Structure 1
């Protein structure tokens, strides 16, 4: 009986080892997948369209999975839930994520893009300035880059956020639908949706971000993932640099590349491309100070509950 028992034990051990070995390739493949979150029309979107990152990572045995999000807050929530490893979001969604305790760090920033955000009304509207927005309904989203623009634009003319009636929606499509229904007096959007609205209906832009908000995009990541895979992040930024340089000098080709995958008219993308700078830079003290101003603005309004220190959320090593 002892011999049979030993044989049975060895057989079971062998089967267990075989099962474990069979699962290793799947596990290794999962561990070698870079999961990236992106939004319509941004540098990561262009990188996705180029296929350059996949080629750059292939020799190392890595693959890339891309996940599209409608807004920055949705993307940062996915980062916090470990559904993605890396992604991008605008300045205000990044601040709201910081304040909410999202497990993400700043790795890099895009150049200012102030003309890519705007507060607008219909051409026939009796509203002709931001000051005329007092007591008016405005479509926007919580924690969006255009929410910060609105806060600053109101302050610029002696009003406060409490002087308007925010009508909160969840995505850009809802903004456009609400605006077109006439249920709000004004609306806020960012590119490419702002460019799309401009081409579709020629609204009157009351204020863009010039002089008020730099409207930067930030590259964010799970810090534990970065700690383990700095070489992968460096390759990502190296490939991003290549596509950024190409996009900067080829606005029409950029529009043509993105139009099919985004389902957006190339004319819209061309307008958005012409007013932005495709360059990724390190997060320096000046950029940290910009973000800290956003923290202060929303903390003062009690729209975030934590006066987070942005400098503590910047990854300690430059990986560009």
Structure 2
């Protein structure tokens, strides 16, 4: 009996010891997994902290050279007059006569930033050009018109049927000429349409080689000096959107991207400066007239007339701007100017939306 009791006690103690050992093992196992989990959290936290440090590292602008396309008397002049030309990076300005040439230069990786109408990028799509549209400036549309010589008997666009009409290919002039003809039931096939550059068009018009000329800018004032007459204005045809073009390689480069963001803000501020007072507008008109070789009065009068329509403002990309360009592209496709319909949306890049919105 005593042996039986002793065995029961021994068995009970053994079971309790085994249970305690099992509980200890479970506790150790839980501690092991807890340590592993904590290590993972600490590892992720350390990794995130390291990434945060990298993300917060300011871009190095001192070694950046931003290659910018400009028109005569364009961005460089306006930034200088507004006192916004002290860049923390180097800027190389190259002068071009049109947005179509700028898109070609971007595609050839010769420039990083440019501006032009909605139209050149449409032609760029068909040639698989490497291009991004990163913002738009909406401004007045007054200096866009269809001219006829002083001795012309044409009273409406319909009177130009069968006539020799000059225009600037792949520009707003190309587009508004199509729309003007459409309004009177005609197309480019109903006229003798001749694609000419602005200088060549002005020369041909002055020689009397053209019955009409679809053009823009201050060539209009020069032609009117010789007695040219405006047959129809494109003021209510065009959107007024002037797009900012960028090279995809520049947008992808962190340092150049920072420089572009800064440059866009300076453009926005220089627009505000130009139109902030009559004094600023007068000063700009004086210098701009000197740069392009036109009388100051012509420039100032056009600027004042433009302000009556709308002031120039830089905006980030938007659905209305994309839709406007798509409408232009569809018009070109419908009339056979381009071989097929193109989708413009993939060209638009919202990388700089926050930077533009925060620019004050």
What range describes the TM-score normalised by the shorter chain of this pair? 0.7 to 0.9
The answer for the alignment partner of 2:304 in structure 1 is 274
Moved more, 122-131 or 251-260: 251-260
The answer for the alignment partner of 2:289 in structure 1 is 259
Name the CA distance, whole Å, in 1 between partners of 2:228 and 2:212.
10
Contact 1:107 / 1:283 at 8 angstroms: preserved in 2?
A: yes
> What TM-score results when the alignment is normalised by the length of structure 1?
0.82
State whether structure 2 residue 185 is matched by structure 1 residue 145: no
The answer for the alignment partner of 1:128 in structure 2 is 155
Name the CA distance, whole Å, in 1 between partners of 2:329 and 2:263.
29
Contact 1:47 / 1:239 at 8 angstroms: preserved in 2?
A: no
Moved more, 200-209 or 218-227: 200-209
The answer for the alignment partner of 1:284 in structure 2 is 318
- 1:202 is displaced (CA, Å) by 4.2
Map 1:201-216 onto structure 2 (within 5 A).
201-216=226-241
Name the CA distance, whole Å, in 2 between partners of 1:67 and 1:96.
22
Contact 2:139 / 2:313 at 8 angstroms: preserved in 1?
A: no
Aligned length: 286
Name the CA distance, whole Å, in 2 between partners of 1:215 and 1:72.
15
- 1:242 is displaced (CA, Å) by 1.7
Q: Secondary structure at the match of 1:286?
A: helix
Map 1:122-201 onto structure 2 (within 5 A).
122-169=149-196, 171-198=197-224, 200-201=225-226
Contact 1:36 / 1:65 at 8 angstroms: preserved in 2?
A: yes
State whether structure 2 residue 221 is matched by structure 1 residue 221: no
The answer for the alignment partner of 1:38 in structure 2 is 70
Contact 2:72 / 2:291 at 8 angstroms: preserved in 1?
A: no
Map 1:303-318 onto structure 2 (within 5 A).
303-317=337-351, 318=353
Contact 1:178 / 1:184 at 8 angstroms: preserved in 2?
A: yes
Contact 2:136 / 2:244 at 8 angstroms: preserved in 1?
A: yes
Name the CA distance, whole Å, in 2 between partners of 1:299 and 1:187.
23
- 1:49 is displaced (CA, Å) by 4.0
Q: Secondary structure at the match of 1:119?
A: strand
- 1:279 is displaced (CA, Å) by 1.2
- 1:103 is displaced (CA, Å) by 1.1
Q: Secondary structure at the match of 2:119?
A: helix
Q: Secondary structure at the match of 1:65?
A: strand
Contact 1:110 / 1:280 at 8 angstroms: preserved in 2?
A: yes
- 1:214 is displaced (CA, Å) by 1.8
| Shift in CA distance, 159/41, structure 1 to aligned 2, threshold 3 Å | farther
Map 1:65-84 onto structure 2 (within 5 A).
65-84=92-111
Superposition RMSD on alpha carbons, in Å?
A: 2.2
| Shift in CA distance, 39/80, structure 1 to aligned 2, threshold 3 Å | same
> What TM-score results when the alignment is normalised by the length of structure 2?
0.74
Name the CA distance, whole Å, in 2 between partners of 1:227 and 1:76.
18
| Shift in CA distance, 46/197, structure 1 to aligned 2, threshold 3 Å | farther
| Shift in CA distance, 196/282, structure 1 to aligned 2, threshold 3 Å | farther
- 1:52 is displaced (CA, Å) by 4.5
| Shift in CA distance, 94/192, structure 1 to aligned 2, threshold 3 Å | farther
Map 1:106-117 onto structure 2 (within 5 A).
106-117=133-144
The answer for the alignment partner of 2:22 in structure 1 is none
- 1:273 is displaced (CA, Å) by 2.0
Please, which runs of 5 or more residues in structure 1 have no aligned partner?
1-27
- 1:210 is displaced (CA, Å) by 2.6
- 1:289 is displaced (CA, Å) by 1.0
